[in-house]
A and B are shown apart, each in its own frame.
Chain A
Amino acid sequence: MEFVEDRLVDARGFQCPMPIVLANKEMQALAVGGILRILATDRGAAQDMPAWAEDIGHVILDSGELDGALYFVIRKGEEED
Chain B
Amino acid sequence: MEIQTFVTLGLGDNSFLVGSGDEAVLVDPQRDAWRFTEHAERRGWRIRHVLETHVHNDYVSGALEVRASTGAQIVVAAGSGPFGFDHRLIEPGDEIRIGDIRLVPRAAPGHTFQHIAWELWIPDSASAPAAVFTGGSLLVGSVGRTDLLGEQSADELARAQYRTVRELALLPDAVQILPTHGAGSFCVASVPSAQRTSTIGEERQGNAGLNARDEDSFVREQTGALGRYPAYYPRMAPINRAGPASLGHVPLISQLDVGAVERAAAAGAWIVDGRDRTAFADAHIPGSINIELNESFASYVGWTIPFDAPIVLILPEPISETGPEAAVQLFRIGRGGVAGQLAGGIDAWTAANRAIRAYPTASMKDLFQTVRRGDSVAVLDVRQPAEWRDDGVLPGCRTIFVADLLARMAELPRDQELWVVCSSGHRAAIATSLLDRDDIPVRLVARGGPIGWVERFDRLAAIAAIAASPAIGA
Contacts and interface: CB of A to CB of B under 8 A. Distances in A.
A22 B383 CA distance: 15
B296 A15 contact: yes
Q: Mostly helix, strand, loop or mixed at chain B's interface?
A: loop
Interface centre among A10, A13, A48 (most CB of B within 10 A): A13
B196 A16 contact: no
A60 interface: no
Given A10-B194, A11-B194, A41-B9, A52 B452 contact: yes
B447 A52 contact: yes
B295 A55 contact: no
Given A43-B295, A79-B456, A52 B194 contact: no
A33 interface: no
B98 to A, nearest CB: 29
A66 to B, nearest CB: 15
A12 B456 CA distance: 30
Contact of B447 (A11, A12, A27, A55): A55
A27 B194 contact: no
A30 interface: no
Contacts of B453: 56
Given A15-B10, A21-B387, A21-B451, A55 B363 contact: yes
B312 interface: no
A3 interface: no
B391 interface: yes
Indicate the size class of the contact surface on chain B: 35 or more
Interface residues of A, number: 26
A18 B194 CA distance: 11
Nearest to B423: A17
Contact of A55 (B299, B364, B391): B364
Interface centre among A11, A17, A18, A43 (most CB of B within 10 A): A17
Interface in B40-92: none
A55 B427 CA distance: 19
A51 B448 contact: yes
A21 B383 CA distance: 12
Contacts of B323: none
Interface string B273-307: 00000000000000000001011100100000000
Interface string B131-161: 0000000000000000000000000000000
Contacts of A43: 294-295
Contacts of B427: 16-17
Interface in B417-458: 422-427, 447-449, 451-453, 456
Interface in B340-385: 363-365, 383
Contacts of B451: 17, 20-21, 24, 52
B7 interface: yes
A74 B29 CA distance: 38
A76 B53 CA distance: 44
Given A13-B182, A17-B383, A27-B452, A44 B423 contact: no
B109 interface: no
Contacts of A2: none
Given A43-B295, A52-B424, A52-B451, A14 B387 contact: no
Interface in B191-249: 191, 193-196
Nearest to A39: B194
Nearest to B194: A10
A42 B294 contact: yes
A13 B448 contact: no
Contact of B391 (A10, A15, A21): A21
A13 B365 contact: no
A32 B422 CA distance: 25
B227 to A, nearest CB: 10
Contacts of A15: 9-10, 12, 184, 294-296, 299
Interface of B: 7, 9-10, 12, 182-184, 191, 193-196, 292, 294-296, 299, 363-365, 383, 387, 390-391, 422-427, 447-449, 451-453, 456, 459
14 contacts: A10-B193, A10-B195, A15-B10, A15-B295, A16-B423, A17-B383, A17-B426, A17-B451, A18-B184, A41-B9, A44-B294, A44-B426, A51-B363, A56-B453
